[in-house]
Homo-oligomer: A and B are copies of this chain.
Amino acid sequence: MLKIINQLPIDSPSFSWKKTTPGKDVKVNEWIQSIHHLDKDEKQNDWDIVLMGVPLSRSSISASGASEFPEWFRRSWKGFNTYNLDEELDLRDLKVIDIGDVQMHYTDILLSHQYIKDAFHGVTKELAHSFPVTIGGDHSITAMLVKGLKETYPNEEIGILQLDTHFDLRDLKDHGPTNGTPIRNLIESGTIKGENVYNIGLHGFFNAPSLVEYAKEYGVNYITLTKARRNGIRETVEEALQVLAKKVDRIYLTVDMDVLDIAYAPGVPASTPGGMRTDELFEAVFAAGLHPKVGAMDIVCLDPTRDGTVQPTVKAGTHVFLSFLSGFYKRKK
């Protein structure tokens, strides 16, 4: 560093870019580490959580900007502390690495799907001790993620806990692997068994009767939101996990943000009236985080371009991530 720059008043209080050493308090953006900013020597760490973005939404049936969510998700971090006041725990004790976004091809959706599967297989194989969280993207990616996971653990039985307003059991013959098909995709490809899927949150008039029939035929389990509320959202999740845990080796949690009520989640193309409240969803994913067999998680179908300037849904999406981590923290610590 030559003289001319040395003489810049960068030690004066005028410049904010001279970062001070982080103290006790950090924001989420200061806590999660990006692979871009790691020094080489740091990369050897065992991470508790590995975070990966999948900016794909051309596979969505209706037009969606969910591909923008990974970027807005990261951008929202500075509005959150690491301290969970309800649970009196500090997520800072977890080591989290953000390995960036999986590369997408703009016009070859199946190739993008292949990239997703390969990336998730790589991550779960190479960082086997880290818990992987994927930020979508639309729901089509879940099929590829679970397939990638299955590639890593070919002998394991994988179960799905799905928080969703929809079954996502559409026929792939109609339009290929859209965001309406991931669960069917997994069943038909033999990756999972229908009976090892637990869907919580369905309600209203948002699923076609043929999908209900398919669910029944293949033993897909579902608990409507009304029933889940009657038993308690948290209790319902716990019971589903308990039953599922007896049948499978590893549980994959997929959160379709359209499970939320449209009043809470305007920024999801398929959110509906009569859906879940955000506090219920936070409770549900916290419970899932606690369970030892829950081994991977994704958050999908959140479209920040519909979320206005106040961004309630983006903030809810980030809170889902942190609430889940809080459960995970209590499981681990």
Contact = CB atoms under 8 A, between A and B. Distances in A.
Q: How large is the interface on A (under 10, 10 to 19, 20 to 34, 35 or more residues)?
A: 35 or more
B264 A278 contact: no
B178 A262 contact: no
5 contacts: A8-B123, A14-B122, A58-B58, A262-B312, A274-B279
Contacts of A142: none
Contact of A16 (B12, B40, B101): B101
Given A40-B1, A106-B59, A309-B308, A8 B315 contact: no
A127 B8 contact: yes
Contact of A126 (B7, B61, B308): B7
A303 B305 CA distance: 12
Nearest to A36: B17
Contact of A86 (B58, B106, B204, B279): B204
A15 to B, nearest CB: 6
A116 B127 CA distance: 45
A327 B23 CA distance: 44
Complex A-B, nearest 9 residue pairs according to Cβ-Cβ distance, in ascending order: A17-B100, A107-B176, A106-B175, A25-B208, A2-B44, A63-B65, A9-B122, A16-B103, A14-B119
Nearest to A282: B274
Nearest to A9: B122
Contact of A109 (B5, B24, B109, B224): B109
A129 B224 CA distance: 34
Nearest to A113: B107
Contacts of A150: none
A85 B126 contact: no
Contacts of A103: 13-16
Interface string A6-39: 0111001111110000011100100000011000
A42 to B, nearest CB: 9
A204 B84 contact: yes
B126 A210 contact: no
A221 interface: no
Nearest to A41: B1
Contacts of A207: 81, 83, 85
A105 B14 CA distance: 10
Nearest to A208: B25
B16 A102 contact: yes
Given A57-B63, A273-B315, 17 more contacts: A8-B122, A9-B118, A12-B119, A14-B116, A24-B210, A63-B65, A80-B206, A83-B205, A83-B209, A86-B226, A106-B174, A107-B177, A107-B178, A108-B109, A263-B312, A273-B312, A274-B279
